[in-house]
Homo-oligomer: A and B are copies of this chain.
Amino acid sequence: MSQNEMDQLRQQMDDVNLEILKLINQRAQIVQQIGDIKNKQSMYRFDPVRERAMLDHITNKNTGPFENATIEHIFKEIFKASLELQEDDHSKALLV
């Protein structure tokens, strides 16, 4: 019975993993679109004020079990990856 319960929880986890994957990539697409606009306006892509505001907004809504510090850490990794993705896109554009 515990094995069955474990299997169910693992299935739930697999489903949640794929939902997170979908959302992270969806977020990356939005970042790319914002990057395109910023490019046209010759704006800097990295905006620490906006990043801080996003983190505050996210942790304000955090109900756990993760601590705010952990949530911030995970999101900073996502932000960093998004910025790197834009830099890749930009380098590729320059090579064309």
- Which residues of A line the B interface, CB within 8 A? 2, 5-6, 9-10, 12-14, 16-21, 23-34, 37, 40-41, 50, 54, 57-58, 61-66, 70-71, 73-75, 77-78, 81, 84-85
Some 23 contacts from A to B, beta carbons below 8 A apart, are A2-B41, A6-B37, A9-B30, A10-B50, A13-B27, A13-B34, A14-B54, A16-B30, A17-B27, A17-B58, A18-B57, A20-B23, A20-B27, A20-B75, A21-B71, A23-B23, A24-B74, A25-B62, A25-B64, A25-B65, A73-B81, A74-B81, A77-B77
Q: Judging by beta carbons under 8 Å apart, are A16 and B25 in contact? A: no
With A21-B62, A25-B62 already in contact, the answer to whether A40 and B2 are too (CB < 8 A) is yes
